[in-house]
Structure 1
Amino acid sequence: MNPHRLLLSAAIPALMALSAMPASAQTLKVVASFTVLADVVKQVGGEHVKVTSLVGPNGDPHEFEPSPADAKNLNAAQLTFVSGEGLEGWMDRLITASGYKGKPVTVSEGIDVSTMEEDGEKITDPHVWNSPVNVKIWVANIEKALSAADPADAAAFRANAENYTKTLDALNAYAHAKFDKVADDRRKVLTSHDAFGYFGREYNVSFLAPLGLSTESEASAADVAKLIEQIKSEHVKAYFFENSNDPRLVKQVAKATGAEPGGELYVESLSDAKGPAPTYEKMFKYNVDQLAAAMAKSS
């Protein structure tokens, strides 16, 4: 028998098996704007997605400057996720530069957002992920978008979303168990900028900061002086700096008030794989533990 014919006859069943496989064999190429969001997309997408984060570990999503490599990754993406609410001010420029034809999915749609006055302007607080209650809405929006892009794997996305929602419920319960027993007058902390509004709203913790909602904002001497007086009068005992921005200003304020260092918080960026906050779940728990320990110390 012709050896070529023998090889062909052996290959036919394998080819038929491949053709019978569902279309879900493809892996969706997904881009997320920053590491916290990228991790949540991975939790919902599982093995069916390959997620690239534009802003890397320990990076600041406010002051991010996209590179040609970021434009290339975005252009190749089948699906793109942003948090929205003004966080990714650089995204429109990157979309134009990259030639990306899709429309990013805004995962924060449906969240009860907070607004505040800053420099005479009403702006939305974009840091919604610092409450796991809000991240549940992210998860629902991510599942919907992934299922629309890859209907064959919709059941897997739904199962992953349900499991991860249970994880988020457990994180919320964990934080309440830590903070609900702390006296109200001890739930006060000094941080670098106003990134913990939703955390504070959920767990009744007051966060004081020299900078506003964006790390791009600047604090005036009068604002800093006013903050120092407030910290002294309210007896705020601990300060924290953030992994993704400059700690010098908060350290200056702390020095003027006598506040003690509580450590580093992961606010809008995960750590690298070797750090204490490589996933959203670990980031949130780590922050809760750091804050609760500082409050217990000051009691």
Structure 2
Amino acid sequence: MDKKNRTFIRFITGCLLTLTAVFPLSGCGQSTAPNTGDQKQPSAANSPQSASSKAPDGKIKVVAAENFYGEVAQAVGGDQVEVQSILTNPNVDPHDYEPTPDASKTVNDSQLVIYNGIGYDSWMDKLLKASSTSKGKSIINVGSDLAGKKEGDNPHVWYDPNTIPKVAAAIADDLAKLNPGQAHSFKQRADQYIASLSPLKNQVEKLKKSEGVSIDVSEPVFDYMAKALNFKVNNPTFAKSIEEGNDPSPRDIGQIQSDIQGKKVKMFIVNSQAQNSTISTIVDLAKSSGVPIVQVTETEPMGKDYLQWMVGQLQDVEKALNVK
């Protein structure tokens, strides 16, 4: 997201936190049903007591930085876990989120922590360092531990179709260490969750092109999925500039204009959560040139779970591929 959008989001977030201070919200764990987007920040009143012991009902306390990772934890842990996701509002930029005291307490009290890492949610690193129980936690840094990436790499690793299945398996392994008696159940539920993602796997296989497809993107949000589909991003330096909140060079702007006007790309993929005048101008150019526009989001939309989110976007990609 560009700097202007992030500044606006921080302003809105600050207003919401002020309201929260006046009208405290009750925290709730995620359910195994698809995310409806109504999860709330955990409140101090019902935050877990300590990371060294389970919740009063014997459940393992899990905290996820992003709600789509929390969804996986709930599916794998079932009724043996109490899951809190810190970021559930799709309008909050994870890069710039500033943790509340309640979020800090939730992390401190957890037994298993799952976060994206590699610079995407660096505030979680700070919360873990500040936690008095950090040495006793199981921690899954998805970007580095499972995706094999480092800080500075594209952090949007959940767009790689191979990432979430790895997350499910890792969660099952860590939960088994915390509750060995339920190890078989954790493994079984992880396998079931991975199997439930087969529509996404099938859609990727269906759309993957052997000869490759050239596309332009507004930001590198979709890049891992693009690679899985054998799509080639024609404008990586333009996209990187937009992501970092910088103005693209005249040369980069000229290249994307040439791509679109000459129909050298099959589609223009836009992060709908990060719009500015430059992107709007290119969107208008794509419309007038007959180049399909596919909108994607960096965060999980309200009312959708991970599978619905990903498959829905791929259905839009399929429509764009079929445009003559």
Normalised TM-score (structure 2): 0.69
The equivalent of 1:84 in structure 2 is: 117
Aligned residue for 2:67?
A: 35
The 2-side partners of 1:51 and 1:247 are apart by 36
In 2, distance between residues paired with 1:67 and 1:203? 39
Assess if the C-alpha contact under 8 Å between 1:107 and 1:141 holds in 2.
no
The offset of 1:213, in angstroms, is 8.9
CA distance in 1, matches of 2:253, 2:200: 34
- Mapped partners of 2:253, 2:123: distance in 1: 28
Indicate whether 1:147 and 2:182 are aligned. no
Q: Give the corresponding residue for 2:246.
A: 218
- Aligned-pair CA distance for 1:156: 1.5
Q: 2:257 aligns with which of 228, 236, 251?
A: 228
- Measured in 1, the distance between the counterparts of 2:114 and 2:241 equals 21
Unaligned runs of 5+ in 2: 1-54
Deviation, 1:215, is 3.3
AA in 2 matched with 1:66 = P
CA distance in 2 between partners of 1:48 and 1:243 (Å): 37
| Residue 74 in structure 1 maps to residue 110 in structure 2 | no
Structure 1 residues 195 and 226: CA distance shift in structure 2, 3 A:
same
Letter of the structure 2 residue corresponding to residue 154 of structure 1? A
Give the partner amino acid of 2:76. V
Kindly provide the amino acid, as one letter, of the partner of residue 280 in structure 2: K
Whether 2:157 is the aligned partner of 1:128: answer yes
User: Does residue 290 of the first structure (1) align with residue 316 of the second (2)?
Assistant: yes
CA separation of 1:36 and 1:190: change in aligned 2, threshold 3 A: farther
Q: CA 1:52–1:184 in structure 2 vs 1: closer, same or farther (change >3 Å)?
A: same
Cα pair 1:136 1:165 within 8 Å, conserved: yes
Higher Rg of the two aligned structures: 1
**Contact 2:214–2:232 (CA<8 Å) still a contact in 1?**
yes
Residue 105, structure 1, aligned to residue 140, structure 2: yes
Q: Percent identity?
A: 23
Q: Compute the displacement of 1:214 (Å).
A: 8.4
Instruction: Give matches, 1:1-299, under 5 Å.
Output: 26-58=58-90, 59-96=92-129, 99=132, 101-102=134-135, 104-108=139-143, 109-111=145-147, 113=149, 123-177=152-206, 179-180=207-208, 184=211, 187-207=213-233, 208=235, 210-212=238-240, 215-222=243-250, 223-233=252-262, 235-236=264-265, 238-246=267-275, 248-257=277-286, 258=288, 260=291, 262-266=293-297, 268-273=298-303, 278-297=304-323, 299=324
Point out where structure 1 has 5 or more consecutive residues left out of the alignment: 1-22, 116-121
Q: Could you give the per-residue CA deviations for residues 56-110 of structure 1, whole angstroms, max 9, x where no partner exists?
A: 2313322323223322322222211112233222222333456552453213424
Q: Which deviates more from structure 2 when the two are superposed, residues 195-204 or residues 284-293?
A: 195-204
Structure 1: distance between partners of 2:242 and 2:178: 33
